[in-house]
Amino acid sequence: NAGVTQTPKFQVLKTGQSMTLQCAQDMNHNSMYWYRQDPGMGLRLIYYSASEGTTDKGEVPNGYNVSRLNKREFSLRLESAAPSQTSVYFCASSTRREGGYTFGSGTRLTVV
Amino acid sequence: KNEVEQSPQNLTAQEGEFITINCSYSVGISALHWLQQHPGGGIVSLFMLSSGKKKHGRLIATINIQEKHSSLHITASHPRDSAVYICAVRDSGGGADGLTFGKGTHLIIQP
């Protein structure tokens, strides 16, 4: 099915471990985003990529790195996980700045 | 940075009732999105608005750009409409791309 695919769906990490969240879209969208969702707060932008080869920081980038591998794929890396990074992470893509959004199904990450 | 406020935060209603969820924002936008999230589930885009009104089935979304306000209406509500409804805006100025989100309205429709 066309859309945004995120892996894994669930992950438990120990403090200090690293991991990469994968995201791929097959809609030929230029823009891709990583958001985190925490209880009692709206989704917050971590990083975004307006086009292949470019990435920019969002509202809460500390502790994360990203890679726009090609037009389809945008990965999020936690180099040294901390309990404060326990959250649900969503990848999204859109056609252009004013375009509609498509979200992935989310990754529920717990750091212990 | 835009501030997005939704009301009510929680809403419980009986099946068949007409539902209204409100969203206000603080600065000019290029687009407003209404999203739906079921418990433990992903996020689905319902509407993207820049002016006027849109309708899809039993859902209606309106926006008043001058008053910086949008509403989402559900007619003939059904238990399957139970979900969190999220308003999100895209700023019209420069700066970081991406959406600014409200905290969501948790809707429960009882049979």
Name A111's bridge partners.
A13
Predicted pLDDT at A97: 58
User: Could you tell me which residue, A93 or B41, shows the higher pLDDT?
Assistant: A93
Spatial CA neighbour of A31 closest among A74, A94, A92, A90? A94
Q: Give the CA angle between residues B73, B74, B77 to the nearest 5°.
A: 155
**Residue-level pLDDT, tens digit, chain A, 112 residues:** 679 999 999 999 999 999 999 999 999 899 999 999 998 888 999 999 988 889 999 999 999 999 998 999 999 999 999 999 999 999 999 986 556 889 999 999 999 9
Say which amino acid occupies A59: E
Contact A104, A4 (CB under 8 A): yes
- How far apart are alpha carbons B47 and B21 in whole angstroms? 14
- How far apart are alpha carbons A35 and A107 in whole angstroms? 11
For residue A105, give how far its alpha carbon lies from the nearest alpha carbon of chain B (Å). 4
Q: Structure tokens of A101?
A: 């959004």
Contact A78, A63 (CB under 8 A): yes
Say which amino acid occupies A46: I
By CA distance, what is A6's nearest residue in B? B42
Interface of B with A (CB under 8 A): 4, 30-31, 33, 35, 41-45, 48, 50, 86, 88, 90, 96-104
For residue A17, give how far its alpha carbon lies from the nearest alpha carbon of chain B (Å). 25
The DSSP H or E segment spanning A91 is strand A87-94
